[in-house]
Amino acid sequence: MSEEKIIDGKKISLMIKEEIKKDVLKLKEKGIIPTLAVVIVGENPASKVYVRNKKKGCEEVGINSLSYELKEETTEEELLNLVKELNEREDVNGILVQLPLPKHIDENKVILSINPEKDVDCFHPYNVGLVSTGNEGFLPCTPAGIIELIKRSGFEIAGKNCVVIGRSNIVGKPAAMLLLKENGTVTVCHSKTKNLSEICKTADIIVVATGKRNTLTPDMIKEGVIIIDVGMNRDENNKLCGDVDFNGCYPLAKAITPVPGGVGPMTIAMLLNNCIIKLRKFL
Ligand code: NDP
């Protein structure tokens, strides 16, 4: 397999982290210490891994991270009180509450309680609105990672037919918004889409974020397409795999992201970027 064709998310994320590291250093020289508060409630094993990786990412680039590991039985009120305290702390410039939360806590209420100025996940409707209106501000992490992967690999988005499969608030919808901001011609598909294959065949760029293995197969694509696979699934051997039939699509694609090593590392890099995005004005 030619390395040229594979979009190396690990390598690109390292480049971005190096850039962040330099900016963090300059901020520290000016007496500004970027600080992210990471809150996790309960024992969800996947969430614990994500939180550990996010804290490790902070360490790598010199961002200070504060850790709040709350018990599963934490009440909604207790969590909201903690968020309020973090909202008010001047030394904390980013707040991340790891989702999903235990069933007895209303996730929406918690997202709404985070000060939009500290919402590094870019989940607050205020920040979602800024993204949708094409304004400056926090960037949705996974979608921003997708844009960086495409651009830093030297591909143009403007004027290209972009198809996004998936319309979640975390990936599909904001990815469509960012591609639109880059002047792509964007089609969003989902589980009720009738002619997915025909739509995908028109695409120059396809982003797949369904959480379903083999959503995209070679019979659905045209030659020369750029494929971004967001999915994280397990195959029958418990090996991590994406939403795309990688081996099938690889020969036809101009470029394709692997799983793992594609979008995954970019999400954390873009989270770290959000931790300093509002501080860059002090550089
Ligand atoms: P959701 O389950 O929230 O959304 C899935 C979307 O895919 C829905 O809009 C659904 O349509 C659509 N869909 C499902 N099946 C099909 C199908 N057969 N054809 C067309 N559309 C379909 O998932 P997320 O967006 O949160 O995540 C998607 C994947 O990306 C998951 O594997 C997740 O683990 C991964 N992920 C990876 C990240 C990373 O950093 N690498 C970060 C976030 C997610 P409908 O709306 O009609 O139900």
SS3 261: coil
Answer whether 230's CB lies under 8 Å from 213's CB.
Answer: no
Task: State the pLDDT at residue 1.
Answer: 64
> Do 84 and 173 reside in the same domain of the chain?
no
> Do 42 and 101 reside in the same domain of the chain?
yes
Task: State the pLDDT at residue 2.
Answer: 63
> Do 152 and 101 reside in the same domain of the chain?
no
Only one residue has tokens 């969590």, namely: 79
Which residues contact residue 127 at a Cβ distance below 8 angstroms, ignoring those fewer than 6 apart? 116, 119, 137, 138
SS3 93: coil
Residue 7 lies in a domain: no
Task: State the pLDDT at residue 276.
Answer: 98
Q: Could you list the residue range(s) of the whole structural domain that residue 98 is in? A: 31-115
> Do 106 and 147 reside in the same domain of the chain?
no
Q: CA–CA separation, 147 vs 139, rounded Å?
A: 11
- Give me the CATH number covering residue 110: 3.40.50.10860
Distance 23 CA to ligand 1 centre (A): 33
> Do 151 and 250 reside in the same domain of the chain?
yes
Atom of ligand 1 nearest to the CA of 209: 28
Task: State the pLDDT at residue 4.
Answer: 82
Residue 153 lies in a domain: yes
Q: CA–CA separation, 140 vs 131, rounded Å?
A: 8
Q: CA–CA separation, 110 vs 142, rounded Å?
A: 21
Atom of ligand 1 nearest to the CA of 172: 25
Would you please indicate which residues are annotated as catalytic (active-site) residues?
54, 98, 121
- Give me the CATH number covering residue 153: 3.40.50.720
* CB-defined site of ligand 1, < 6 Å: 142, 165-168, 170-172, 189-193, 196, 209-212, 215, 230-233, 263-264, 267
- pLDDT tens for residues 131-177? 999 999 999 999 999 999 999 999 999 999 999 999 999 999 999 99
| DSSP secondary structure letter of residue 187 | E
Q: CA–CA separation, 274 vs 24, rounded Å?
A: 12
Q: 219-254 as b/e, with b when 16 or more CB fall inside 10 Å?
A: ebbeeebbbbbbbbbeeeeeeebbbbbbebbbebbe
Number of domains in the chain: 2
Q: 90-125 as b/e, with b when 16 or more CB fall inside 10 Å?
A: eebbbbbbbbebbeebeeeebbebbbbebbbbbbbe
Task: State the pLDDT at residue 186.
Answer: 98
Only one residue has tokens 């599963």, namely: 72
Within the chain, which residues score under 70 in pLDDT? 1-3
Global pTM? 0.97
Distance 204 CA to ligand 1 centre (A): 20
Beta strands in the chain (DSSP E): 35-41, 64-70, 94-97, 161-165, 185-189, 205-208, 226-229, 233-234, 240-241, 255-256
Amino acid at 207: V
Nearest CA among 133, 130, 200 for reference residue 163: 200
